[in-house]
Amino acid sequence: MIPRREFLRLGAVAIGSVAAGCAALDPVPKGRTKVSLWFSYGGTNREVLESLVQRFNASQTRDFVQAVYQGDYFEGLAKLRTAIHARCAPVLSHVVGEVVPYLAEAGVLEPLAGYPGLSELDIIPELGQERTWVSGNARPLCALPFNRSTPIAYLNGELFARAGLEAPRTWAELRTVAKRLSEPGAEPRFGFGCPINWWFWVALVGQAGGSIVAENGRISLGDAAGVRALGLWQELVRAGSMKPPPGRDYNAWEQCNQDFLSGRAAMIWSSTAFLKYLEAQARFKVIAAPLPAGSKRAVPTGGTFWVVLRSAPGAEKAAAARFLRFMHEPEQVITWSTRTGYIPVTRTAVRTLEQRGYYADHPNDRVALAQLAVAEPWPWSVDLFRIQREIVQPRLESAVIEQRDASALLSEARALALEPT
């Protein structure tokens, strides 16, 4: 039996360890303005971000950024919204593009144009507020890009070379290539894998010639193009050429990556964000390729934007703005994009990389950047996030996994999208 004194000592050590674990953040040095930053990157991306934060903290003595991991995008967003209500929100965070209009219209985002230097950043228009949303530049600047992406195709170079195939450039080629690379059996291999996720469906809708919101503002969910987009997935799954990975949200993305790395899927669609991870983990040559065209080429942009919360004290918001300026300097942008796979968000960073010959040495990194030529803007819609999560996403799964009628499901979704919230 443990003596009472020893028991109490061990208890105290245990409580102390827990307390130390909870307080593992670097303390803010005296005299510096604290900037609390909530972020949602895991793995390598987290390491890179934390190294950039350290670089900022070491580069000056005025401000100090404390970065705290808050789970994946959706978990982080839930915490952020709850914290805003509880009046304990951080100064700075980053959110997915689809949610920016909702947060902006709710009046919780700080307009950024008034902070020195933030309006003058040489951001690539397709990645900034200006062209990420329809008429984005007509609204007060409230979001700055950092980790921006497009969906791209990842090919197992070995399997493609063995089959003498090239990256599909059209939907027809996608069908053929996926079929040729599929092998049925007890341990089947699928020619194609893609998370049944809104983002990839939006890409397909664009490629089929449609858009989520019509020009007159009607929520169309692509109309006939939306059905054609879903039809392509349904057809590929029925043919046994496509594996819809299990799990929802980012669990499905991770599963899709694992299918690719283990050779269970010869080609996947995923975010450019996973480029460095997949290149590092794969035991075969990874080839990145642009998404194929339907009636035209199109991709949505993805990833997140920096936002400063209006509720924070003025001094902290000014410090956050200084941090954002630092993060948009070429060296930081280059470090971030070359170590993660995200698209560099400023023109200077791209020019510098070109001059250094980076893209000649790393052709995979150029794919997402080049795809910006066909990137389509999102509608500035407050309801976009609700439509995505509550209405469309479950019906995409139903159409593909249960092979239900795509047209009926999308009609149902359109009707629900029109209902008052």
Partner 1 sequence: MRASRRGDPYWMLLPTLLLLFVFFIFPLGMLFEHSLFSWDLLTPPRYVGLANYRSLWRSGELWHTFATTLSISSAVVFGSMTAGLALALLLDRPGRWAAFVRSAVFSAYVVSWVSVGLLFLWLLDADSGILAALWRFLSHGRAPRFLADPALAPWAVAAVTIWKITGYALVIFLSGLQDVPQSILEAAELDGASAARRFRSVTWPLLRPTTLFVATTSLIASFQLFDVVRVMTQGGPVRSTTVFVYAIYEQLFLDLRVGRASAEAVVFFGILLVLTAAQLWLFRAEEGV
Point out which span in 24-32, 56-64, 186-194, 320-328 binds partner 1 (CB under 8 A): 186-194
What's the closest the beta carbon of residue 282 comes to partner 1, in angstroms?
17
Q: Which residues, including other chains, have CB under 8 Å from residue 297's CB and lie 6 or more apart?
A: 207, 290, 291, 374
Task: Estimate to the nearest angstrom the gap between the alpha carbon of 100 and the chain centroid.
Answer: 13
Which residue, 158 or 249, is less far from partner 1 as judged by CB? 249
Whose Cβ is closer to partner 1: residue 54's or residue 251's? 251
Is residue 251 a contact point for partner 1 (CB under 8 A)? yes
Judged by CB under 8 A, which of 8, 12, 13, 78 binds partner 1?
78
Is residue 239 within the footprint of partner 1 (CB under 8 A)? no
Contacts with partner 1 by CB under 8 A: the residue count is 34
Q: Out of 103, 118, 121, 212, name the contact with partner 1 by CB under 8 A.
A: 103
Amino acid, res. 235: E
Q: Hey, how many other C-beta atoms are within 10 angstroms of the C-beta on 21?
A: 8
Question: Would you count residue 397 as binding partner 1 (CB under 8 A)?
Answer: yes
Is 85 among the residues that bind partner 1 (CB under 8 A)? yes
DSSP 221: T
Residue of the chain from 161, 329, 386, 411 that contacts partner 1 (CB under 8 A): 386
Q: Strands, E, within 73-205: which ranges?
A: 92-96, 144-149, 151-156, 192-193
- Interface with partner 1, residue 394, by CB under 8 A: yes
Q: Please give the Cα distance from 65 to 36 (Å, whole number).
A: 6
* Of the residues 34, 111, 389, 407, which one makes contact with partner 1 according to CB under 8 A: 389
Site for partner 1 contains 173 (CB under 8 A): no
Distance CA 275, CA 287 (A): 10
The DSSP code for 392 is: I
Distance, CA of 292 to CA of 207 (rounded, Å):
8
* DSSP structural state of residue 188: -
Q: In the complex with partner 1, which residue's Cβ is closer, 173 or 412?
A: 412
Question: What CA–CA distance (Å, rounded) separates 300 from 342?
Answer: 14
Is residue 310 near partner 1 by the rule CB under 8 A?
no
Cβ-based nearer residue to partner 1, 245 or 292? 245
Residue 5 beta carbon to partner 1: minimum distance, rounded to whole angstroms:
28
Q: Does 281 bind partner 1 (CB under 8 A)?
A: no
Q: Does 216 bind partner 1 (CB under 8 A)?
A: no
- Please list the residues that pair with 145 across neighbouring strands: 305
As a whole number of Å, the CA-based R_g of the chain is 23
CA nearest to 145, candidates 376, 363, 336, 365: 336
Q: Under a CB-based contact definition with an 8 Å cutoff, are residues 109 and 90 in contact?
A: no
- Is residue 82 at the binding interface for partner 1, with CB under 8 A as the rule? yes
Residue of 108, 153, 291, 333 interacting with partner 1 (CB under 8 A): 108
Q: Find all residues with CB under 8 Å of 313, minimum gap 6, and list them.
A: none
Between residues 120 and 402, which has the closer beta carbon with respect to partner 1? 402
Among 81, 179, 180, 325, the residue binding partner 1 under the rule CB under 8 A is 81
Give the residue, chosen from 46, 248, 310, 339, that forms a contact with partner 1 under the rule CB under 8 A.
Answer: 248
Centre a 10 Å sphere on the Cβ of residue 276 and count the other Cβ atoms it contains.
22
From 61, 119, 262, 281, residue interacting with partner 1 (rule: CB under 8 A):
262
Distance CA 381, CA 373 (A): 23
Q: Which of 43, 247, 313, 363 binds partner 1 (CB under 8 A)?
A: 247
Are the C-beta atoms of 246 and 229 separated by less than 8 Å? no
Closer to partner 1 by CB, 82 or 281: give it. Answer: 82
Q: How near is the Cβ of 189 to partner 1 at its closest, in Å?
A: 11
Q: How far apart are CB 255 and partner 1 at their closest, in Å? A: 9
Exposure pattern of 316-355 as b/e (b: 16+ CB <10 Å)?
bbbbbbbbbbbbbebebbbbbbbbbbbbbbbebbbebbee
339 lines the binding site for partner 1 (CB under 8 A): no
Positions touching partner 1 (CB under 8 A) are 74, 78, 81-82, 84-85, 103, 106, 108, 185-188, 244-249, 251, 259, 262, 264, 386, 389-390, 394, 397-398, 401-402, 416, 419, 421
